[in-house]
A and B are shown apart, each in its own frame.
Chain A
Amino acid sequence: MTALFAACAAVLVLSAIGVVVSRHPVHSVVGLIVNFAALAVLFLTLSAEFLAMIQIIIYAGAILVLFLFVIALLTVGSDPIERTANKLPEQAGQAVIAGLVALGFIAWGIQADWTPAAAKAAPDLGTVGTFGVQLLTTHVFAFEATGFVLLVAIIGVVMMAGRRETGARS
């Protein structure tokens, strides 16, 4: 179990770095797929079976495919890689410092004592059945809210991407 976790953790971090440093976006997408797969395994170790499933189906299956479509759409005739001169050369250093500072704060923050006050035995935590019951009883409002968010997103995308280009835009 510990070995599994260690392996997944290593894959997770390395693939994340790969996503960030790849010059070509398609390589990044591949890294992200690997990353999400490792994450799904980690969800399983946290007995979140349903989450592991949707991590694969929704994220890897839907969102990343969307990314791939967009890459394909934008790169007709050219490579979508950064070739223009960097207008903010100092940004990289500042970003790394900011990231490390944030990491320091997080590391400091997670040192609290997280032991639950009363340990509860919950053998079926995260199964599809439990999840479904929770989603349609206790958290039904959140469930409805997600539906609304998606509706708004669909309308927004249709409004933006579906518009005919006018000649005014260069």
Chain B
Amino acid sequence: MDAVVANIAPQILFAPLLGCLLIAFVGPRLPRSVSAVIGCTSVFAAFALTVGLAAHVWHLPVAAQRIDLQFGTWALVGQAHIGFGIWIDPLALTWMLVITGVGFLIHLYSVGYMGHDANYRTFFAHMNLFVFSMLLLVMSDGFLWLLVGWGGVGLASYLLIGFYYDRQSAVLAARKALIMNVIGDVGIMIAIFLMFAHVGDQSFAVVFARTGAFGTSALDWIGIWLLVGAVAKSAQLPLHTWLPDAMEGPTPVSALIHAATMVTAGVYLVARCHPIYDRAPAAAEAVAIVGAASALFAATIGCVQYDIKRVLAYSTMSQIGYMFLAVGIGAYTAGAFHFLTHAFFKALLFMAAGIVIHNLGGEQDIRKMGGLSKRMPFAFWTFLAGTLAIAGVPPFSGFFSKDSILDQAAALGHPWLFAVGVAAAALTAFYMFRLFFSTFAGEYRGSVEPHVERVPAMEIPVAILAVLATIGGFLVLPGHDTFSALLAGAFPDAILPLSLADFDWPLVLGTLMIVAAAIVTAYAMYVISPQLRADVSRRLGGLRLLLLDAYHVDAIYHLMFEVPAYALAQACGVFFERAVIAGVPQALAAATSALGGLSRGWETGYLRRYGLTIAIGASLLLYFVIFGLHDVGAR
């Protein structure tokens, strides 16, 4: 056991939990600013420790970078041993750095953004709870603790989506997210049951070492059930409908949970389980197809939505689709790389959008924005950096990560996935610049004059993220694949050790041309000629309506699940509830009452009547005793 890791890792894990408990139990007695200080400090401490840990681990030889710490026994069930353990490797470290680093920046941002909210302390307590749960998820040494963290982030997500609990839409969105996530939790549980059935253990070490003992069919099933969990948590098809609704939560929540970290847990799960997916081709294929379909599906919807946060939510779903595509085809480092850059630029986009929303007094409809580049130059420049990054324009970070995924798809022989990826990239560029131009270009279309206030606590984190979103891609440069080298320790047995630095230049340039065309189209439609936009809208009227309602998925689910469930409940309410649940006790009560009516005439309250009753009872007793006596008396 590595002493340094054994000392630092638990501190990283429990610092946010300590912060959460302090805010929850001590915070109410202290000034409200103290809660914010505790929240930010605990996450920053976790970040600093993570940096130290990462420096330590990355100085170890590659073969020693996977560290499995065991702290004791949690449960012994039959032959199954479940321990308290922490599993540190470069993959976990990547996620930990983002969770604590970006998490700290978003905490800092929240100090300004949530400054006027009455439930300021609650917010920070929940945010810290989230950071703890997410760290538990990525630091777990087995599937059970992973599931605990998995449920914990679901809970934190539920609490924070429903943070404005006096709004019915927020409460409904929170409930929807929770239910969808529970479907995924059940999927992971089934996968764990299958692992127990085949190898009798759930720890990564045992399960991954004995993948040979499963057989391909069982591995495929485990992969599929894990995918169910990943799909629910990462808002991929067909369990994606909760993510757009989750934008009811405060914007920092959207940035941290529903863009940067929690929704990428599915990617982490698949990458973590690469020994399974490497040997389960059907399940891996399913992951890639789900990812590609989600990427394209969400990108099309993003083209027509009017709510700035909803567009960003669909783009999140689309970008996570890319990551699924990558990990599905075995390009785990490419998926992790896109996770990293996405965390930078998507958190940046949400927080820049948050500044806009904040200054417009809560307005989120882009039809009522426009012309904000002069009024809010800071938001303008940072949002531009994020938009360029997500659109994949060099040298911004999204270019490197997205291109490495497309490169790998092409190189590993998945032409269809590559084509879908390029199409989604073009759509991404289009809808992001549509969003950008609608918000910042042209004339201001809103009725309320923007109230611009510059809050340093909000602008500093956004500025840092803007820098990171700009230069974060330089971890992979032509000929220098730093990122793969960093992650080498996590994938020692990866079957496809492809370098991300092998740029396929014709392909890259072709993709760039398409992206440039998409940006130009957006410029033409939203800046130069509103007439063109109106024409296109008219031509594609039916399609536009379909996309505006997100392919009617909510309505379809409503018809498929809710309507039958309500009908069943109604039927049960009428037949079962009234006839059985209510009927049986009522009949029993009536029978008891009737019996009581028969005997109550005897109960007069007169002492002598009681005496007579006793005499009768004693006589009966005597009768039975005598029968017994005569049996004995026949001796």
Contacts and interface: CB of A to CB of B under 8 A. Distances in A.
A105 B630 contact: no
B606 A102 contact: no
Given A94-B612, A101-B619, A113-B633, A88 B606 contact: yes
A99 B604 contact: no
B633 A91 contact: no
15 contacts: A88-B604, A88-B606, A88-B608, A88-B609, A91-B608, A91-B612, A98-B615, A99-B615, A102-B615, A102-B622, A105-B626, A106-B622, A109-B625, A109-B629, A112-B630
Contact of B619 (A87, A91, A94, A105): A105
Contacts of A98: 612, 615-616, 619
Given A88-B606, A112-B629, A113-B633, A95 B623 contact: no
A108 interface: yes
Contacts of A94: 612
A95 B623 CA distance: 18
A102 B619 contact: yes
Interface in A87-131: 87-88, 91, 94-95, 98-99, 101-102, 105-106, 108-109, 112-113
A108 B630 CA distance: 9
Interface string A67-90: 000000000000000000001100
B546 interface: no
B622 A105 contact: yes
B618 interface: yes
Contacts of B626: 105, 108-109
B443 to A, nearest CB: 90
Contacts of B618: 102
The prevalent SS among residues of A at the interface is helix
Given A87-B606, A88-B606, A112-B633, 15 more contacts: A88-B604, A88-B609, A91-B606, A91-B608, A91-B609, A91-B612, A95-B608, A95-B615, A102-B618, A102-B619, A102-B622, A105-B622, A105-B626, A112-B629, A113-B633
Q: How large is the interface on B (under 10, 10 to 19, 20 to 34, 35 or more residues)?
A: 10 to 19
Contacts of B608: 88, 91, 95
B273 to A, nearest CB: 75
A106 B619 CA distance: 9
A105 B619 CA distance: 7
Closest 8 CB pairs of A and B: A112-B633, A109-B626, A105-B622, A102-B619, A98-B615, A105-B623, A101-B619, A91-B608
Interface in B579-635: 604, 606, 608-609, 612, 615-616, 618-619, 622-623, 625-626, 629-630, 633
Interface in A1-26: none
Contacts of B609: 88, 91
Contacts of A113: 633
Interface in A147-169: none
A84 B589 CA distance: 40
A34 B626 CA distance: 33
Contacts of A102: 615, 618-619, 622
A102 B623 CA distance: 9
Contacts of B606: 87-88, 91
Contacts of A101: 619
Given A87-B606, A88-B606, A88-B608, A109 B622 contact: yes
Contacts of B604: 88
A105 B606 CA distance: 26
A88 B605 CA distance: 11
Interface residues of A, number: 15
A90 B502 CA distance: 112
Nearest to A109: B626
Nearest to B615: A98
Contacts of B615: 95, 98-99, 102
A95 B612 contact: yes
Nearest to A104: B619
Contacts of A87: 606
A95 B616 CA distance: 9
A57 to B, nearest CB: 30
A97 B126 CA distance: 80
A109 B629 CA distance: 8
Contacts of B625: 109
A91 to B, nearest CB: 6
A19 B125 CA distance: 86
Nearest to B614: A98
A99 B619 CA distance: 9
B341 to A, nearest CB: 87
Contacts of A105: 619, 622-623, 626
Nearest to A98: B615
A87 B618 CA distance: 24
A105 B623 CA distance: 6
Contacts of B633: 112-113
Nearest to A107: B626
A102 B619 CA distance: 5
Nearest to A105: B622
A3 B618 CA distance: 34
Contacts of A99: 615
A102 to B, nearest CB: 5
A101 B619 CA distance: 7
A95 B610 CA distance: 12
B372 to A, nearest CB: 84
B171 to A, nearest CB: 58
A155 to B, nearest CB: 24
A87 B630 CA distance: 41
A116 B633 CA distance: 13
A101 to B, nearest CB: 6
Contacts of A112: 629-630, 633
Contacts of B612: 91, 94-95, 98
Contacts of A109: 622, 625-626, 629
Nearest to A101: B619
Contacts of B630: 112
A159 to B, nearest CB: 22
Interface string B484-526: 0000000000000000000000000000000000000000000
A108 B633 CA distance: 12
A113 B622 CA distance: 18
A163 B191 CA distance: 77
B165 to A, nearest CB: 56
A47 B247 CA distance: 102
A113 B616 CA distance: 27
Contacts of A106: 622
Nearest to B635: A113
A109 B612 CA distance: 21
A102 B618 CA distance: 8
Contacts of A95: 608, 612, 615
Contacts of A91: 606, 608-609, 612
A101 B633 CA distance: 22
Interface in B228-269: none
A94 to B, nearest CB: 6
Nearest to A108: B626
A94 B615 CA distance: 11
Interface in B119-175: none
B634 to A, nearest CB: 9
A91 B623 CA distance: 22
A108 B623 CA distance: 9
A98 B633 CA distance: 26
